[in-house]
Structure 1
């Protein structure tokens, strides 16, 4: 009996260990298959790459999962594979407590030797390489070194640290350059586990969190505001909407109502949508009546119905920020998907929006846009740019709309959540996709200019 109990206990322990072990190749294969079956843009993206090139890409990243350091690099490997789809709606987020130390995971992390001679050499660097302090210098110091591999171009290695579990030589972050000053890669959190991150290389600073040793940290440029408004002059009103996410819907509604009288009497409006990465289409509803001048042609999108996509859409009903009206619309969508499993269904039909009346004010509108404008904000711009009142000014938008309506699903065993698109715009069938270029403004503005002032001048000229 004693041997039997020991045997059962051994099986239980083995089962627990097995459940906690996550093989990188297995997880990569799961995510690859999941995207092929559920991502609305997969067939288009594969056709753009060609199937042989896609198969070669899969083989390349599968090989990465078999490298000795694959357990530590697995998130980076999968995230870089997903980046090849070139869809900003495809992303990964953490599903763990980043502050809770994972001692077992930390004990297995790779150590990169950094000699005193190398540190002295890096202290003389004037390029991206160098010795950097965290913005709270007492916490840790890193050595940023060029280390060109298939997975990264730069690594940031701990030189000294007061963080629990962190040792000299552990990688704090690693990134591959995607432009002359921006890297995409992984940031290893307080508990040692990675999250996807981007790193901006500026003068003596990286991403605002690290500054070169013996230099002062840059001050924050200011407080982020979800919405804002002010009179620029008697002729021009200014409204800023920082996000169309569901959490900001009440703020948008409030700022529009608070400025209702000004909107009825002021000739000009500057609508600042810079850095608005989108959210939900219904949140920009209060703005539409002020923009509208004539019937607006609209091309809709189709949804891919799969079990995972249905589950993802149903999960949106748990969002307490959504109105009951919006939830009723979601329930109708879920019902439509459930009745058409394995098919494409029309989520939004093609048609003409003509249920508004042209208002006498504002008479002219400038909408400010930049490269960070994306998703639902771009959908609003497709509506707004058909108005005779509207001029778009700034720079090309992100181009994140051809595949949209993202939902989320968990990884099979790693503590992460996959975000991906479930809809495909039928604009693509007309050759009117925007993801390759973004939406172009009517008038370009230069980065160093005062864009608000330029918009006001254009309106009051």
Structure 2
């Protein structure tokens, strides 16, 4: 009997471990971890009310009960967290986790899974010859979007996009990849064949087709290219910062992202062209779709736009044992790249935070930092910063600094608004199935000047009557007046 009891006790942790990996357990862990550690939790509860939150918890506690797929579980948990804010949240499945229990499907399994997918039989050579002979041009054509080559043909009242070339596994020749309906709404089928619906499919110039975040480029028939459209898609597709002279009076600096790893590229482009920038009356900084990164990455821009002291309101960190671990990560993990001085700062910060567990702690001596430079440059005298709804986080921090310059005006549309609750930290779930990303800090601008879910408005709103590929032209003309 003793042996049997002993064996049962040995197996108990295994049974508990398996039980703890189900979706309700993952949900419970996420809820507890977020409530105890996220810097924005208490603020949102105060704003929305405890009962509203409890009702929200009840809905999602029921939702997760029947979920066995880890990807569906993490997506549901992410939706639960959006109660608190629209950004600076993450629930990401860790690599090696498959959609279903068991081994990964083979290529042949995937091919068979989609073998009955609707197809359109088209002789591609004849279709291309037909396209080259057309006088009027519409959605019909051959289009590319890596790794796909797609033919679009009008069939009845709608346009059907069929695969010409693809990976040969998830998508094979002839399969229907997209539909543009009679009202010009569109359905695009993703890699896993899930449907993504878009309100409108739009031709941009002669050679681009835009459906929400999906862009296709026409390769047949061969049509005249338009410089403004080509320059726009070059800017939007850019992975690296670049500089160019728009005209004798205006230069352009395109910065796609402020990631810490991009700082040296941004600094290099600025320094290589500093002389021309400081000799030219107007400067345009194109930040469209720049979602943020590291504050250090925009520091080289500040002296160029500077006219008067820049005031930056600081943050407070929520001190908890889990949150404070990040300071130890800075010291012990090489990927953070901290030098000895940085490690000493992290150790001092850890010590200060550890003395005040459960409180918000300001690491800086003063709540407001004032940055001054010795020189106010004569040129550029006008600086236009192009922004849109995909700007957030560090990019918004830069805009708050830039707006204090008398030279600067913002052009475009309102930013997304994800700045007040920041400094993300990522922790693995107990079973290492996914990683939770939440925030450690709260801005001391709260509540007088909040950005979250409001965004930063432009000085010059660019309305929808101005195509996005003409935004640069519009800003250039305004600055040149």
TM-score (norm 1): 0.74
C-alpha displacement of 1:319: 5.8
Q: Which moved more, 1:249-258 or 1:406-415?
A: 406-415
Q: Residue 369 in 1 paired to residue 387 in 2? A: yes
Kept after mapping to 2: 8 A contact 1:90/1:421: yes
Once residues 383 and 204 of structure 1 are traced to their aligned partners in structure 2, the CA distance between those partners, rounded to angstroms, is 34
Once residues 199 and 446 of structure 2 are traced to their aligned partners in structure 1, the CA distance between those partners, rounded to angstroms, is 31
Kept after mapping to 2: 8 A contact 1:300/1:347: no
Which residues of 2 match residues 28-43 of structure 1 at below 5 A?
28-43=27-42
C-alpha displacement of 1:32: 0.4
2:357 corresponds to which residue?
341
Q: Residue 448 in 1 paired to residue 478 in 2? A: no
List per-residue Cα deviations over 1:42-79 (Å, max 9, x = no partner): 01212233111111111111111212656663112211
Does the C-alpha gap of structure 1 residues 208 and 115 become closer, same or farther in structure 2, counting only changes over 3 Å? closer
Which residues of 2 match residues 316-327 of structure 1 at below 5 A?
316=330, 318=333, 320=335, 322=337, 324=339
1:138 corresponds to which residue?
168
Once residues 62 and 310 of structure 2 are traced to their aligned partners in structure 1, the CA distance between those partners, rounded to angstroms, is 50
List per-residue Cα deviations over 1:290-341 (Å, max 9, x = no partner): 1111123332211101111111343345364756366655444334323322
Kept after mapping to 2: 8 A contact 1:226/1:251: yes
Once residues 468 and 415 of structure 2 are traced to their aligned partners in structure 1, the CA distance between those partners, rounded to angstroms, is 18
Once residues 344 and 126 of structure 1 are traced to their aligned partners in structure 2, the CA distance between those partners, rounded to angstroms, is 61
1:104 corresponds to which residue?
102
Once residues 391 and 467 of structure 2 are traced to their aligned partners in structure 1, the CA distance between those partners, rounded to angstroms, is 15
Once residues 362 and 157 of structure 1 are traced to their aligned partners in structure 2, the CA distance between those partners, rounded to angstroms, is 45
Any gaps of 5 or more consecutive residues in structure 1? 108-113, 146-153, 159-170, 183-201, 212-218
Q: Residue 356 in 1 paired to residue 386 in 2? A: no
Aligned residues: 404
Aligned pair partner of 1:247 in 261, 266, 278: 261
List per-residue Cα deviations over 1:244-264 (Å, max 9, x = no partner): 111001111111111121122
2:80 corresponds to which residue?
81
Once residues 247 and 188 of structure 2 are traced to their aligned partners in structure 1, the CA distance between those partners, rounded to angstroms, is 50
C-alpha displacement of 1:377: 1.0
Question: What's the RMSD between the two structures over aligned residues?
Answer: 4.3
Q: Which moved more, 1:234-243 or 1:29-38?
A: 234-243
2:450 corresponds to which residue?
433
C-alpha displacement of 1:228: 0.4
Does the C-alpha gap of structure 1 residues 70 and 45 become closer, same or farther in structure 2, counting only changes over 3 Å? farther
Q: Residue 413 in 1 paired to residue 443 in 2? A: no
Does the C-alpha gap of structure 1 residues 20 and 155 become closer, same or farther in structure 2, counting only changes over 3 Å? farther
Q: Which has the larger radius of gyration?
A: 2
2:415 corresponds to which residue?
397
Any gaps of 5 or more consecutive residues in structure 2? 106-112, 120-152, 179-186, 202-207, 218-229
Kept after mapping to 2: 8 A contact 1:87/1:403: no
1:280 corresponds to which residue?
294
Q: In structure 2, the residue corresponding to 1:140 is in which secondary structure?
A: coil
Once residues 405 and 34 of structure 2 are traced to their aligned partners in structure 1, the CA distance between those partners, rounded to angstroms, is 38
C-alpha displacement of 1:404: 0.8
C-alpha displacement of 1:224: 2.2
List per-residue Cα deviations over 1:268-294 (Å, max 9, x = no partner): 111111111111111211111111111
2:223 corresponds to which residue?
none
Once residues 253 and 39 of structure 1 are traced to their aligned partners in structure 2, the CA distance between those partners, rounded to angstroms, is 33
Kept after mapping to 2: 8 A contact 1:305/1:337: yes
